Every structure is written in C-alpha cells, then in structure tokens.
C-alpha cells in the first residue's frame, strides 16, 4: 500500500499514480519517464490527482515471493535522466543517469492499493520552491518536532514558482536568503523571475510576481507587498558590495600545513593563484560550520613583498563571501603572536574575530624573487587544524570560480581608522577598520609579564640589552615594548624598520643569519667567543624572525640554545604573573628533537612532561 497526497501546483512536476489500462494495475510514473509530447497532460493535476509520498507499506511474504520469482532482485522500471558530469555546469560532459524509483515496485504487487493521507504526513522537498516554502512561516514545528503546515495558511500552502534556471541548486537559494525569508503565510501565489534577494522584513500577501531582468540580484522591498507585480530590473543594487563570480582553474600543490602555504612570490602573484586559495578557505569554513557573516576577520602579515596587494585581494573576496567587518593591521603589519592576541582579546564581544589570514613565509627570505606565504588561524588564535587544512586543499583541487567584490574600493591601510562602505540600495554595509598593529599584543603582554620588574632590571647601570628585529614585523613591537613601555633608548632596537625584502637579509634568528647581533654580542657564527677588545658587550641580546614567532637569545659572549630557554622559563614560571595567577605550571612539552634540558626541570619540580612530534 502506498501513501499518497493530492497534487497541488507545487507538485505538478513530481511523480504520480496512474492505472495501467491493460490490467488495471496501479503504476508510478516519474517525470523522466514521460514523453515530451505528454508533459502537459503529465502535469495536469486534475487528470493525475495523486502523487507518491514514498511512504510504502509492504507485506514481507509477498515481497519474498517477488524476489524469489525474479532470481533475487526486483525488476523495477529503469528511468533514464539526461545529466551533466558537473550538475552546476551545463557545458560539462553530458551523461545518462540510470535510476529506479522504489515506489515503482507497486506495479509488481497484484491487488496493491493506495491511501490518500493529509499533508501533515508529508512535506516534499524536491526543488528550491519546496525548500523555500518549508523554511518559511508556512510551516511550524509541532510538539513532536515534526514540520506541519501552519494553520494560518487555511489548509493549503501557497504556490511557489521560482525561476528554474536561477534557482536550480540549493546554494542559489542560500545566497538569496542570507537576510532571511519573507512571511508567506498570507500568500497564495509567488512567482520569481530572475535573481532576487529576500528579506525577513518583507510580508507577501495574495498573488505576488517579481521580475528582475538584470544580471545582478535585486532586493525585494521590505514591508507588506500585496497582490502586486514588481519589476526590479532598474532598481538600485549592491553597488560596491556586489559579488561577481570569477572563472578560474585549479593550481597544483596548494596544500597548506600548520604553517600555511608557502611558495615563491611570483607564483602567488599569478592571476587567480591567491584568490583560489582564499576562496577555498572560505568554502572550507562554510563546510565546517563557521558563520563568517557574524564576527570579524583579521588580516595582516610580516610586511614582505606583495603583502599590501594581497591584503586588498583578501578584503574583496572576504566581502563577497559575506564578511561584514574586517580588522587590518596598520601598514598591513601583524605578527603571528599579535594576530593571535587580536583574535582572542580584541572586543567587544559582538565584534569578536572568527579567524585571520596571516601573510607570511615565516623565516624564509622575502622579496619579489623570494618567498611569500599565507595561513589561516582559527577563532582560538591558533593555526587551522588538519581537518580544516585538508578541506581547504580539497577545495583548491576542484575550484572553478571564486567570489569577489571587484568594485570594492582600495582601503588605505597606512593609518588607523574605520571605513564603512554601503550598498547602493541601502540594505547592507561593510566596515573595514585599520587597527594599530601593536595595541592588543602589548596590552596582553602587560597582563602576562611583570613590566615593573623588567623595567627595574633594564634601568640598572650594570645591565644592557639589544633587540634585533632583522627588518621583520617585530620592529614596531620591539619599540612599543622596550622604548614606549619600558623607557629604554631607541638604540636598544636595531633593524627595527620592517622591509619588504628584510633589507636583503634572511630573517631567520640563528647564529648564521643574525650576523650583526651575533657580532655585537661578541660571538662568531659557531657561537664561540671573539676578541672584543675594550668594546662593551651588552648583557642580553635577542632576535626575532620575519613574522615574530621564533627567536634567538644571547648572553654576553654566550649563546643560549632554544632548549635551554624553554628549561629556564619552566624553572622560573612562578615569577611570571600569568602562570603564577593560575597556580603555576602543571606540565611542560617539547618536540622530539629538543634536548632534554626541560626534562630535568620537570623531574625536579614534579611537572608532567610530554614529548610531541616536530611541528606540533
């Protein structure tokens, strides 16, 4: 027995029940089984009144008889559908899709019957017409958590006729309903021809027809629209906020790791290369449930060549993907630790960041003939997990287009301030705020460390310090901390002006590349003492890499290995307010290649010790 519903205009293209004249047997006819010449009659809901709900009741003993009769299978009628390999591309390879309908088995059961059930047993969703209806106020959720027709509809749902070419896929409907779905409970018939943008501020009553013959989606006006035909073709659109679909082809090798994607700068400068990766990231965020329309996107980098141009590209793609607010580091600069601080600390809550693009290749050389990179950090401030980077990579291998607001203006990132860009139709706006690069990071550092105690040390006549930023992003941060906060002379900070090629150097803080600092601290590239004569060697020296997340520490004519730095921090963690306020350290971790110095500290202080793979 098959459960059926009476067909309405919304169901006219779906399969229906019929009686085969030869033997009066019930059969199911699907639209793909219908000859073109018979299509009009097929869709006549007065001639073919009932459609299959796919709720079937079967006697198992009779089913076994049929299976046994036909040698272990059920000979359902074959349905031939003409499709394309890519359902979203009508120009892709044409194919024939063969399928069978479960309900078609009714013709194999002699004496099969059908029963007409009410609509509360079935809410079909075969096309975007149905999905829009189901998501609207025409349906409510009852006490059993089942969607049922809203009683306010008077027993019948409105007929929805969306443009079949414009709303063939769910993604098209999703884009049109970003601002909500209008009230349809008082609507009898809704026709949409062309692309539109719906809004929850609109109520449609009676018979409403909306036409848009332009290529840009137009906003349906808010308020009550009753028994009206609207032509939105010449209505204002989104203007600078209009999103365009830019055709592209996939590039090989865009697999990001925890450190992001790094390639030669000229490779990134190829048309579409960066855009492909950024769009693939937004697609992955959507797939993973991140709502980019709320919260803020952070963008910044280490200032290397192509940084400023890349930021403008990212802004335009972000806006096209629905981002409403962006924080950009002044001059395009944000160190990796500072970006994490902005994500986690900058407020207020309703503006909190959902993630960030960081433009860096870390300690790799910079310049047009050197390296560039990009990585995505998540809402916790940390790098994208493997699940997300895998999704990003998968998207890069199949991308065919990306979204871009091509007419969005270039943002001046040379000075702090806020710019708001509004759509021509007044329906939406985007705010881009250029923030002081050092502000949030320095504020966080002041809560972590005892600046008063540090200043007391630095002010001693028998203590001196030099900090080498190697012309990377950390220069402004070094000045903000040592000069502005701790009152030290500017000479404390060397190579503190960021350069797009790191002044021709290699911003990797080690004994080989930090030559100037190493010499200043009285050492050679092997870390051995050199003759300094009467020259006074500073008490403490440090250097940072291009994006400020790795360092080297030197004492007066001695080199402090990173392994020893970790051990010293662990041993004296209670002197750091951040750790002391939380009851001290509970455990420490090191990578496998790191020396066992911290192991000795953990053993002495009874910490838990963890060994991790490199890069974790």
* Burial (CB count within 10 angstroms: exposed 0-12, middle 13-18, buried 19+), residue 555: middle
**Cα–Cα distance measured from residue 279 to residue 249, given in angstroms and rounded to the nearest whole number:** 12
Query: Hey, which bits of 158-237 come out as E strands?
Result: 159-162, 187-193, 196-197, 202-211, 218-219, 223-231
Backbone phi, then psi, for 338, in 5-degree steps? -65, -40
Which is nearest to 8 in space by CA: 52, 51, 55, 56?
51
User: Are residues 213 and 194 in contact, defined by beta-carbon separation less than 8 angstroms?
Assistant: yes
> Alpha carbon of 322 to those of 18, 131, 157: distances in Å?
47, 22, 32
DSSP state letter for 467: E
Residue 231, beta-bridge partner list: 211
User: Are residues 162 and 128 in contact, defined by beta-carbon separation less than 8 angstroms?
Assistant: yes
With b for 16 or more beta-carbon neighbours within 10 A and e for fewer, the 559-577 pattern comes to bbebbebbbebbbebeeee
> Alpha carbon of 124 to those of 52, 113, 367, 538: distances in Å?
10, 21, 58, 77
Which is nearest to 426 in space by CA: 251, 243, 178, 235?
235
Residue 376, beta-bridge partner list: 357
Please, which contacts does 218-226 make with residues 24 or more away whose CB atoms are closer than 8 Å?
A: 218/194, 218/425, 219/425, 219/427, 220/182, 220/196
With b for 16 or more beta-carbon neighbours within 10 A and e for fewer, the 515-526 pattern comes to eebbebbbbeee
DSSP state letter for 257: B
- For residue 140, count other CB atoms closer than 10 A to its CB: 14
Question: What CA dihedral angle connects 87, 92, 97 and 101, to 10 degrees?
Answer: 10
Q: Coil, helix or strand for 604?
A: helix
DSSP 472-519: STHHHHHIIIIIIIT---GGGEES-S--TTGGGS----STTT-HHHHH
DSSP H stretches of helix in 88-244: 128-135, 170-176
Q: Could you report how far apart the first and last alpha carbons of the chain are, in Å?
A: 59
Active site residue 362: yes
Which residue out of 136, 243, 340, 362 is catalytically annotated? 362
Cα Dmax for the chain: 114
User: Are residues 278 and 313 in contact, defined by beta-carbon separation less than 8 angstroms?
Assistant: yes
Backbone phi, then psi, for 108, in 5-degree steps? -90, -10
Say how many residues make up the chain.
Answer: 616
**Cα–Cα distance measured from residue 228 to residue 233, given in angstroms and rounded to the nearest whole number:** 15
Q: Coil, helix or strand for 398?
A: helix
Backbone phi, then psi, for 458, in 5-degree steps? -65, -25
Residues that are catalytic: 362
């Amino acid at each position: 027995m098959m459960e059926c519903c009476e067909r309405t205009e919304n169901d006219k293209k779906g399969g229906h029940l019929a009686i085969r004249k030869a033997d009066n047997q019930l059969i199911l006819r699907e639209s793909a089984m219908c000859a073109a010449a018979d299509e009009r009659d097929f869709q006549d809901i007065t001639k073919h009144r009932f459609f299959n709900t796919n709720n079937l009741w079967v006697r198992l003993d009779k089913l076994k008889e049929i299976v046994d009769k036909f040698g272990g299978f059920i000979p359902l009628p074959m349905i031939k559908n003409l499709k394309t390999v890519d359902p979203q591309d009508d120009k892709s390879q044409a194919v024939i899709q063969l399928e069978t309908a479960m309900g078609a088995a009714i013709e194999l059961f002699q004496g099969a019957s059908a029963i007409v059930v009410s609509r509360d047993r079935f809410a079909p969703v075969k096309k975007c017409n149905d999905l829009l209806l189901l998501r609207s106020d025409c349906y409510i959720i009852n006490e059993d958590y089942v969607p049922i027709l809203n009683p306010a509809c008077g027993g019948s749902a409105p007929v929805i006729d969306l443009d079949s070419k414009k709303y063939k896929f769910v993604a098209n409907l999703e884009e049109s309903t970003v601002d909500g779905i209008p009230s349809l409970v008082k609507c009898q018939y809704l026709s949409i021809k062309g692309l539109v943008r719906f809004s929850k501020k609109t109520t449609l009553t009676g018979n409403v027809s909306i036409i848009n013959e332009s290529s840009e989606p137009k906003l349906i006006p808010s308020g009550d629209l009753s028994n009206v035909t609207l032509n939105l073709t010449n209505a204002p659109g989104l203007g600078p906020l209009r999103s365009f679909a830019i055709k592209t082809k996939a590039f090989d090798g865009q697999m990001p790791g925890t450190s992001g994607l790094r390639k030669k700068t000229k490779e990134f400068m190829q048309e579409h290369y960066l855009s492909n990766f950024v769009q693939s990231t937004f697609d992955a965020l959507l797939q993973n449930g991140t709502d980019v329309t709320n919260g803020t996107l952070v963008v910044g980098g280490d200032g290397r060549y192509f940084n400023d141009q890349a930021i403008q590209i990212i802004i335009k793609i972000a806006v096209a993907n629905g981002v409403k607010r962006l924080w950009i580091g002044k001059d395009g600069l944000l160190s990796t630790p500072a970006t994490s601080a902005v994500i986690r600390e900058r407020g207020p809550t309703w503006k909190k960041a959902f993630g960030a693009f960081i433009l860096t290749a870390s300690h790799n050389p910079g310049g047009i003939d050197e390296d560039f990179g990009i990585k995505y950090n998540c809402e916790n401030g940390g790098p994208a997990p493997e699940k997300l980077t895998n999704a990003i990579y998968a998207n890069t291998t199949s991308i065919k287009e990306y979204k871009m607001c091509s007419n969005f203006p270039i943002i001046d990132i040379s000075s702090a301030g806020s710019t708001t860009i509004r759509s021509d139709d007044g329906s939406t706006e985007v705010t881009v705020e250029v923030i002081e690069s050092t502000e949030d990071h320095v504020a966080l550092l002041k809560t972590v460390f005892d600046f008063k105690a540090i200043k007391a040390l630095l002010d001693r006549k028998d203590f001196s310090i030099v900090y080498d930023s190697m012309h990377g992003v950390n220069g402004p941060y070094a000045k903000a901390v040592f000069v502005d906060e701790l009152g030290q002379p500017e000479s404390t900070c060397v190579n503190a002006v960021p350069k797009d090629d790191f002044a021709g150097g290699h911003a990797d803080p080690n004994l080989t590349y930090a030559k100037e600092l190493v010499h200043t601290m009285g050492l050679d590239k092997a870390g051995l003492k050199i003759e300094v004569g009467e020259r006074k060697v500073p008490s403490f020296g440090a250097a940072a890499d291009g994006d400020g997340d790795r360092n080297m520490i030197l004492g007066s004519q001695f080199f402090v290995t990173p392994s020893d730095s970790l051990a010293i921090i662990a041993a004296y963690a209670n002197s750091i307010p951040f750790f002391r306020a939380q009851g001290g350290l509970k455990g420490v971790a090191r990578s496998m290649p790191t020396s066992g110095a911290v192991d000795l500290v953990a053993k002495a202080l009874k910490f838990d010790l963890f060994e991790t793979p490199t890069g974790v």
